[in-house]
Each structure stands twice: as structure tokens, then as C-alpha cells.
Amino acid sequence: MAETSKADGGRLTTHVLDTATGRPANGLSIELYRIERQARTHLKTVVTNDDGRCDAPLLAGADFRTGEYELVFAAGDYLRRHGKLPEPAFLDSVPIRFGMAEPVHYHVPLLISPYGYSTYRGS
């Protein structure tokens, strides 16, 4: 896939909702990686705020590039802090690998519970 950069174009955002409690997942750590030829390059680590969102886009402006990325959500750490989980936990790290083909807004939310998760391309 060809890579592009556009200073004012694309952005990447996420947020996390705890479907077991019906609340935003605050304090959940998320790592962002860029994937190139199966190599993972760590770009940043962020933590969700009280609304389950990041305080700023994960990528925006000159930092945004099309290509393949991976978000790794530390769901197990979050769920352990907010309830009782068996050890080992059914879910621990939740990786979501996705592609961004054009410089537009990509929103990759995560809905989590102790025994399941889902995601989709949001708006």
C-alpha cells in the first residue's frame, strides 16, 4: 500500500467503554504501533481519561500517515482494578490491527467486558 502524509488531513482517535458497568473505561493504557513489513514500531502510549477517551488524537496533522497500525489495549489491567478476575484472566491485552488508506478521520473504539470485546470503525 502506498503511504501518504497530509499535514491537515487525517487523524486517529479511540475511546473505550466498559460494557459490564455501562461506563467509560478510565485509566486504561493503550499502546499505538505502526506496522511495516510485519515489524512493529512503538509510536506512543496513552491512558484514557474519565470519559474513556484520550486527551488528544493518537495521530493528527503531520504525524498522520496512511498504512497499517495496531492498538494494544491493556484491558486486563483495567478489569483487575475494577473487579474480580480469575487468574489468568480470560482477556488481558487486546490488540486491534487495522489499516488507514486515506487521510481522513479514523475512530477505533473498544467495547470491553471481562469475557468479550468488540470494535468497529466509528465516526
Binding-site residues from annotation for substrate: 15, 53, 120
* Chain mean position to CA 108: 6
**DSSP for residue 47:** E
Q: How far apart are CA 92 and CA 109, in angstroms?
A: 17
Q: How far apart are CA 53 and CA 18, in angstroms?
A: 12
Cell of 39: 515489524
Residues annotated in the binding site, as ranges?
A: 15, 53, 120
Q: How far apart are CA 47 and CA 44, in angstroms?
A: 10
Measured between its terminal Cα atoms, the distance across the chain in Å is 23
